[in-house]
Amino acid sequence: MKFILTALSIFTLMNSALAQSWIDTSLYPFKSHYHPVKAGNMHYIDEGTGDIILFVHGTPTWSFLYRDFIKELSKTHRCIAIDHIGFGLSDKPNNFKGRPEDHAKNLSLFIKDLNLSGITLVVHDFGGPIGLAAAIENKDRIQKIVLFNTWLWETAQNESAIKVDKVINSSLGKFMYLKMNVSPKMLLKKGFSDKQNLSKNVHQHYVKPFPNKNSRYGLLNMGKSLVGSSEWYGQQWKLLDSLSDKPWLILWGSQDEFISTEYLEIWKRRLPQAQVATYDCGHFVQEEKTLETIKAIKEFVNP
């Protein structure tokens, strides 16, 4: 048994080294950590000391999305950023359901296993429902919440979501996701209002975690969950009151073609006490308005 565990540890380290060989360490200069969950090894970075800021990504991104935030905010805080199973440098099993509710369970266990508390939670995209569901389950461990463009309500009646869902669940959609790697190669670029804000080098850091068909099921399964997990989103929306007494900060890209300002208005009605800042940019606010949103979070966590 000891030999098997040692061999597994060596295998994980070898995979880590191989996975990181394509990373530009001037952009992402962080030490890798891994936490085992049922579906595999979940990669995360853990930088700095002090009160915790926990970053949760969506699709097709990974902890790389928050690299500049961590560089700056880890000067005063302990910054932790996970890669969901199937994304980034985490394991990519093709038999993992990979729905937001599954990722939320992993994140909740991660929070408990590492005994994290006093957390400022930062979420974006599918990381919204994932992170907020984990926060609802661990509400006493959550101190503050930062929302980038995201949602937490039923999507089954949303016309735009239904159109996307039909494509993703078709044979063409499966081909585009698994064979063409369409999500990081094309859809990610579409999420930028100014394409010049996405350099070729940075773009490759979102493409290269998914080198082949078997590594892309996490992308496909997450996409299918836009409408497929609609009922679960609705359940979490009803439970959100358990977090309503927390301080909230909403940082929103107003030119987002995926998650529009109509979504922002829903959040503002539900969270009238939240601080809100909008930016003239697309879906990936962290990439297009990096300095501005780092400043906003810094002021939020250090009032």
- Map out the domains of the chain with their CATH numbers: 32-301 (3.40.50.1820)
The pLDDT of residue 75: 98
Which spans in the chain are helix H?
A: 2-20, 67-73, 100-113, 127-137, 159-168, 171-178, 182, 188-190, 200-207, 217-228, 230-239, 261-270, 285-288, 290-301
Can you give the pTM of this predicted structure?
A: 0.94
Tell me the residue type at 216.
Answer: R
Cα–Cα distances in Å, from 282 out to 87, 88, 131, 143, 164?
Answer: 22, 22, 21, 28, 18
- End-to-end CA distance of the chain, in Å? 51
Query: Using one digit for the tens of pLDDT, what is the confidence trace for 265-303?
Result: 999 999 999 999 999 999 999 999 999 999 999 999 997
The pLDDT of residue 24: 96
Rama region for 172: left / alpha / beta (φ>0; ψ in -120 to 50; rest): alpha
Cα–Cα distances in Å, from 122 out to 105, 154, 159, 219, 299?
Answer: 17, 21, 28, 21, 14
**Mean residue pLDDT across the chain:** 94
Here the tokens at position 117 are 């508390």
**Dihedral sign computed on CA atoms, order 108, 109, 113, 114:** negative
Residue 15 has pLDDT above 50, yes or no: no
Query: Using one digit for the tens of pLDDT, what is the confidence trace for 17-29?
Result: 444 789 999 999 9
3-state SS, residue 79: strand
Separation between Cα atoms, residue 147 and residue 217, nearest integer Å: 26
Separation between Cα atoms, residue 287 and residue 68, nearest integer Å: 9
Separation between Cα atoms, residue 16 and residue 83, nearest integer Å: 13
**Dihedral sign computed on CA atoms, order 106, 112, 73, 292:** positive
Residue 69 has pLDDT above 50, yes or no: yes
Residue 9 has pLDDT above 50, yes or no: no
Cα–Cα distances in Å, from 199 out to 85, 204, 211, 217?
Answer: 26, 9, 19, 26
Beta strands in 19-136 (DSSP E): 33-37, 40-47, 52-56, 78-82, 119-123
Total residue length of the chain: 303
Residue 210: closest CA among 89, 125, 97: 89
Contacts of 172 (CB under 8 A, 6+ apart): none
